[in-house]
Amino acid sequence: MAGGRKGLRLHLDAAAELQTSVAFYRDHGGDELADRLKREVADVLTTIRSDPERFPFVRELQGVQRARLRRFPFSILYVNNPGRLWVVAVAHGSRRPGYWQERL
């Protein structure tokens, strides 16, 4: 968005998914691994805010874009609304595909 960044809001379930995933990585890989996940998500969210058109659209769902994390098997799915970016899911790449669609 020219002239500044849009606001970004996470669906409550997307925020819960992120918290659950961070806890999982903390329990199974330690604090450093959990912190790396949090940093990567934060970096991707910053990129989405600064350049929301950068990431591809999900073919089957009009208006939904997908930003994949590089080091973790997650995607951030979001909608670029006129006034705000709406993150609908922080979805694991191989668990229950499309479960988050009811949030749209």
pLDDT attached to residue 93: 84
Q: How far apart are alpha carbons 6 and 84 in whole angstroms?
A: 5
> What is the pLDDT averaged over residues 13-28?
97
The encoded tokens of residue 15 equal 């925020």
**Model pLDDT for residues 44-53, shown as the tens digit of each residue:** 999 999 999 9
Query: Is a pLDDT exceeding 50 seen at residue 1?
Result: no
pLDDT attached to residue 99: 65
Q: How far apart are alpha carbons 37 and 30 in whole angstroms?
A: 11
The runs of H, that is alpha helices, within the chain are 12-29, 31-50
pLDDT attached to residue 14: 96
Confidence (pTM):
0.87
Residue corresponding to tokens 């959990």: 34
Please give the domain boundaries of the chain with CATH numbers for all domains. Answer: 7-60+69-93 (3.30.2310.20)
